[in-house]
Structure 1
Amino acid sequence: MAYDEHLAERVHQLLKRRRGFSKRKMFGGICFMLHGNMCCGVTQNELMLRLGEKNVLKALEEPFTREMDFTGKPLKSMIYVDQPGFEDEADLKEWVNRAVKFVQSLPPKT
């Protein structure tokens, strides 16, 4: 298993009713998209979030977060959150909502 399917299902439940929702296998895991823009995802047992450069800097000050360095080079607009940071359903929802808020500021992809 390349990613935690239970975590992916939890995220799916939070996003499935949103307009423009889709999912796609990427980054060795699963990504959740809104209007064609990558919003968040799951790789192994980590939550991956697209927050934008400004929001990433603030998020990295919080516990259980780190730069997303999938390619060996940090991606400036994305972070990983380790399991203790989203075990609680309210925490997971908060993280996913932060990513949704950022992605909603982007133009839809066609």
Structure 2
Amino acid sequence: MAYDEARADLMRADFGVEPGLGEKRMFGGICFLLHGNMLGGYGPKGALYRPGKTAEPDFLAIDGVAPMMQGRRRMSGFVRLDDGAFDDATLRQRLTDASLAHVAGLPPKE
């Protein structure tokens, strides 16, 4: 199942050109990484972001934002956006900023 490359391009533009920012094909889509740590990505099931465990409850209170599930397992610290929420540029920017701030505090992966 293919992913929406135009929406992935929007995420790419939102994350910008941070030093240490990279991309990797994963989960049938594209993941964005900062110093090897996953920030978020876009795949066949839509967008996911990594605002971290502390910020996660605030984002989950917003319509269109749901917990990130991998099969039956909840990936804490990650959230998924439905298509309507993804179209909200302000929300995307808030999630982008929260994800960048959270992941910048993690040790780099080799």
- Runs (5+) with no aligned partner, structure 1: none
Structure-1 residue corresponding to 2:23: 23
Residues 51 and 95, structure 2, Cα contact 8 Å, conserved in 1: no
Matched ranges for 1:33-52 at <5 A: 33-44=33-44, 46-52=46-52
Q: 2: CA distance between counterparts of 1:88 and 1:14?
A: 12
Amino acid at match of 2:22: S
1:55-86 CA-partner distances (Å, limit 9, x unpaired): 21221111101111123211111110111112
Q: Does 2:103 correspond to 1:103?
A: yes
- TM score, norm. by length of structure 2: 0.89
Quote the offset at 1:45 in angstroms.
5.4
Q: Does 2:8 correspond to 1:8?
A: yes
- How many residues were matched structurally? 110
Residues 27 and 70, structure 1, Cα contact 8 Å, conserved in 2: no
Amino acid at match of 2:17: R
Quote the offset at 1:54 in angstroms.
1.9
Percent identity between the two aligned chains: 29
Q: 1: CA distance between counterparts of 2:72 and 2:33?
A: 23
Structure-1 residue corresponding to 2:85: 85
Q: 2: CA distance between counterparts of 1:57 and 1:80?
A: 13
Quote the offset at 1:97 in angstroms.
1.3
SS in 2 for 1:63: coil
- Runs (5+) with no aligned partner, structure 2: none
1:29-58 CA-partner distances (Å, limit 9, x unpaired): 110001110001012252101122222122
Hey, which bits of structure 1, 4+ residues long, moved more than 6 A? none
Amino acid at match of 2:46: E
